[in-house]
Structure 1
Amino acid sequence: MNYYVLSQKEESGCPIGIIYADLFDKFYPDTKGVEFGFFPWYAEKGKPGPRTPFPEGMVLISKDKNYDFDIRSVSRFFYIVSDEFLAACHRLNVSIFDSVKIDVLSETGESISSKSYNAVLFEELDVRSNSDPASTFVEENGRPVRFKKLILSDDWKLDLFKYRRLISGSDSLICSQAFKDLAENFKGIAFTPLETVLWSGIRRI
């Protein structure tokens, strides 16, 4: 099966780079005094073992004017995805730790998208035990930090996945041909074939 690396694609409502938004437990008309970094979905980043579940009623408060993307990361560990993107995940073999419906609002409390969104936490894989032994890496202190070449085993089953503790584009999501076919009309995503990818050129989703 063919596999593809997901990268940010600039379109209307699909900004490149970091989105100017933070995820809160509820809407705050003034966020300046709210230390969002203490919320568990930020504070527990990289924590081994179980994480605190996303609560109901979460709100992404944004400085951007409009969103029309189907997936973007808000931190290195969780994503904002459209209902359509999440439905594609549920149709295929995708390991999701947690997800919850959210509102996406401006700083004044107005909706900035016609899409409905969810906060999603995907499982992150260990690269040594979840790639073919022929894969090669750039390493620091004996630990892989980015790919030279990623090879998947012939019996690989996951349709959307990512690896933990990688950098420089190697930390982006990867999908199967089956997922790409479902995502054909999704906005803000470019798909690069795994066999030809230049990892440093990937703008991580």
Structure 2
Amino acid sequence: MLSQKEESGCPAGFLQANLYDKFYSDTKGVEYGVFPWYAEKIHYKTHTPYPEGMVLISKDKFYDFDIRSVARFYIVSNDFMSFCKELDVGIADAVAIQVLSKNGEIISSKSYNAVLFEELDARSETDPASTFIEEDGLIFRFKKLVLPPGFKRDLFKFKGLISGSNTLICSGAFKELAKGIKGVEFTPLESVLWSAVRPI
């Protein structure tokens, strides 16, 4: 599974950034939470396609990561996107974006995309040997995750989970291809301590 790794240009925790439909020189009067990419929550029934021309406006000074989440979508570099296209990765939507400072300056040498990954159902798409923490019949954390025989997806996540269980998980083939990406640590499923994961 993928966990945040803190290094130069790769902050840990939440990005100090929000995704807008276009660049605004003053974002104070713009309620970004009403944009569909924020307003459509975990249990959404439909997805409004991302428009062209979106801009991530950041308070951070410099980005060099290859993937970070913002709300339930991800900011993904072109390099990371190329790995997704080579392997079996379910992408519900993706669009190229600009990543800018509040003054409109480019803060990364990398090109980025806003990406929504398809999300799997933890009850139906895991092996029966998996164990969970549940409340009112809803799974919200893994105790132990075992993937079913013949599982083929190379990068994926499960919907409706919280904390470390809400991170992306990848195959060995994806990890091999993505060697050298910035801001990501890989941990084998057999040894993962879910409560210690800093989700991507």
Both proteins in one fold, TM over 0.5: yes
- CA offset digits 1:21-57 (Å, max 9, x no partner): 0000000000000011010101112243221000000
Per-residue deviation, 1:142: 1.8
Residue 139 in structure 1 maps to residue 134 in structure 2: yes
1:1-205 alignment to 2 at 5 Å? Answer: 5-75=1-71, 77-205=72-200
Per-residue deviation, 1:168: 2.1
CA RMSD of aligned residues (A): 0.7
Per-residue deviation, 1:146: 0.5
TM-score with structure 2 length normalisation?
A: 0.98
Task: Assess if the C-alpha contact under 8 Å between 2:43 and 2:160 holds in 1.
Answer: no
Per-residue deviation, 1:154: 1.8
- CA offset digits 1:118-164 (Å, max 9, x no partner): 00000111100110011001111121110110000120010000001
Distance in 2 of aligned mates of 1:170 and 1:67: 25
Distance in 2 of aligned mates of 1:129 and 1:155: 14
Task: Assess if the C-alpha contact under 8 Å between 2:68 and 2:76 holds in 1.
Answer: yes
SS for the counterpart of 2:187 is: strand
Distance in 1 of aligned mates of 2:146 and 2:39: 33
Identity of aligned residues (%): 67
Task: Assess if the C-alpha contact under 8 Å between 2:77 and 2:112 holds in 1.
Answer: yes
Extract unaligned runs of 5+ from structure 2: none
Distance in 2 of aligned mates of 1:171 and 1:12: 24
Q: Which amino acid aligns with 2:31?
A: E
Aligned length: 200
Extract unaligned runs of 5+ from structure 1: none
Distance in 1 of aligned mates of 2:89 and 2:4: 20
